[in-house]
Chain A
């Protein structure tokens, strides 16, 4: 299985992304770019949405919404470690909520070498990797966050 880390192309990764998550992720077009999450922003009330909304719930105007690429860095708001896995997942795995600078608090799988590394408030960065296996055992990719240090 090719992984993003081993330098395979963004296109080959894209095939493995869960079809429901695909519209939310923009894969890099060159090696210098990073994967990003696609949200939108209302130009009237300036609020960000992820996933994208069709209608701004504040202004009720469709024409105010513009696609934006969200920051690939965030902070860990809270987390937990799943030990009894739902079908398709292998335990243990970490998931939590990540704060993005755009004022969004979003759910995400988390990657750490050691569970003990996880700390509320830690800096995280977005990447794309395996999240689970589907009913046929095929690997499914999605977005994830992992610790980031400058």
Chain B
């Protein structure tokens, strides 16, 4: 594999945009990325478009990438859809990384788009993709993470206050970031006293329903020099499905452990080298589990990690410095690339909530549930490690 760099990123504002359609969102993000890279659209040789739930809403399972790029005059090249649950955008990035890394192409665009408003009824959680047998018995994504939280609290003494601290921290991080859906500061009391969704998780322990899109332009390191003096290198991009294991431990995600281990091995970078992380904080408890699964702290000590401020902007490993899914919002297929965009801005030193001198970034997306009744792992996890290429 040759070294692959990101030379341009772009995204839309994240939020609820009843008037916008998914193609418009995608077009804005892709155009922003092209302009950021200063690249001619004719130079794009291959494209991957990540989306998870949009196809159904748009009455089109395939072709979101073609539709978005057609508006930008990008056609006559390989374009394919990438559907991989909440990791769809990160998987699109990984496909672009492999396409260039193997030497088949020099320049690629990875796109992630999603429009979720209009899907979930007000006050009701978004149902999961598939998992019909579980759904007829009352399952939903917050149910899975509610079960994670109950067990984590029982086994490791994690508290509701510690869960709330994740929401408070991520909202504080969102304050300066204009792309976030929610930016007003919140308190532990407000998180604890917000309406219960799935006990022990209150509303402010859950990420919101969001529309948005994000994109990145990737090049080989050689080609990257033409466009920027600050190329961001992809040190590793790892992907794993959830390992099938009888009587799985619900307080750890096997897919994340596999992807994290691979990413650390490929990059030669360990948790001690990471300057900040953007993880899949779909629920507060998820972020606590991620601290443990990625080796930011020991198993069972995630609650203490947040409580001691170790994941704060000035902590040992600042986590979700952009505001995370909790505050930026989670348009499923777009999230992975939004994390990449935010991470690139951090490494360039131009982020609104800047981590001082950040040189190495860790991003992570995971999602999907096994379509069966037995307790299963998450179905996809993607970890990307980025570093300054200058």
Which A residues form the contact surface with B (CB < 8 A)? 18, 20-21, 24, 47, 49-51, 57, 77-87, 89, 92-93, 95-97, 99, 103-109, 115, 120, 131-132, 140, 142
Contacts and interface: CB of A to CB of B under 8 A. Distances in A.
B136 A80 contact: no
A51 B133 contact: yes
B250 interface: yes
Contact of B147 (A21, A78, A86, A131): A78
A120 B150 contact: yes
Contacts of B196: 81, 83-84
B-side interface size class: 35 or more
Q: Which of A51, A87, A107, A132 has the most CB of B within 10 A?
A: A107
B138 A80 contact: no
Contacts of B154: 78, 120
The 5 closest A-B pairs by CB, nearest first: A80-B146, A78-B151, A83-B196, A81-B199, A105-B375
B372 interface: yes
Contacts of A99: 247
A132 B132 CA distance: 14
A80 B149 contact: yes
B373 interface: yes
Given A95-B143, A131-B136, A80 B150 contact: yes
Contacts of B142: 82, 84
A13 B319 CA distance: 51
A78 B133 contact: no
A142 B154 CA distance: 28
B134 interface: yes
B147 A96 contact: yes
B244 interface: yes
Contact of A105 (B140, B150, B198, B248): B248
Given A105-B375, A106-B373, A80 B247 contact: no
B125 interface: yes
A19 B195 CA distance: 34
A87 B373 contact: no
Contacts of A92: 199
25 contacts: A20-B136, A21-B136, A49-B374, A51-B133, A51-B372, A78-B151, A79-B147, A80-B147, A80-B149, A80-B200, A81-B146, A81-B196, A83-B195, A83-B196, A84-B124, A95-B143, A96-B147, A97-B147, A97-B250, A105-B248, A107-B134, A107-B375, A115-B199, A132-B138, A142-B137
B121 interface: yes
Given A51-B373, A84-B124, A21 B200 contact: no
Contact of B198 (A84, A97, A109): A84
A48 B373 CA distance: 13
Contacts of A105: 246-248, 374-375
